[in-house]
Amino acid sequence: MTSTVVYEGDLRTTCTHLQSANHFETDAPVDNNGKGERFSPTDLMATSLATCMLTVMGIKARTMGFDLNDVKVEVEKIMKANPRRVGGINLFFHIPDALQNVDDKTRQILKNTGTTCPVQLSLHPDIEVKVDWGSWG
């Protein structure tokens, strides 16, 4: 088992990672009867794409002798109706000054690694993913 999810009432859940006992709560979004005080399930889905990309890119960077500390990704989730679902995910990368000198070949390797991460490959093809690499173009 990977985790447990317990419904706490009031459209909230508590999620526990079994190996570490780390936990967090979710909440339904305001536009779907919730309070919007925590990540919603669809927020987590969109955010997991960014975390997966950064994780595999970080692994690749480590094998190449450097790290990706302070790379930031802003995540925008686009919802669609009928049926209600995630229709798009927009990611905006912010590359710190310390990584501006990475050569074009290395940038391309890292970008390719990120865009082929397990979460990206698991998303339904109808979900439109747009990645803005910022200063890495």
pLDDT digits (tens, 9 = 90+) for 122-136: 999 999 999 999 999
Map out the domains of the chain as residue ranges.
Answer: 3-32, 41-136
pLDDT the model gives residue 35: 95
Give pLDDT tens digits for 34-83: 999 999 999 999 999 999 999 999 999 999 999 999 999 999 999 999 99
pLDDT band at 137 (very low <50, low <70, confident <90, very high): confident
Residue with tokens 């009432």: 9
Q: CATH classification of 41-136, choosing from 3.40.640.10, 3.30.300.20, 3.40.50.300, 3.60.9.10?
A: 3.30.300.20
Q: What percent of the chain has pLDDT over 90?
A: 99
pTM of the predicted structure, to 2 decimals: 0.94
Q: What single letter denotes the amino acid at residue 108?
A: Q
7: exposed, middle or buried (C-beta count within 10 Å: 0-12, 13-18, 19+)? exposed
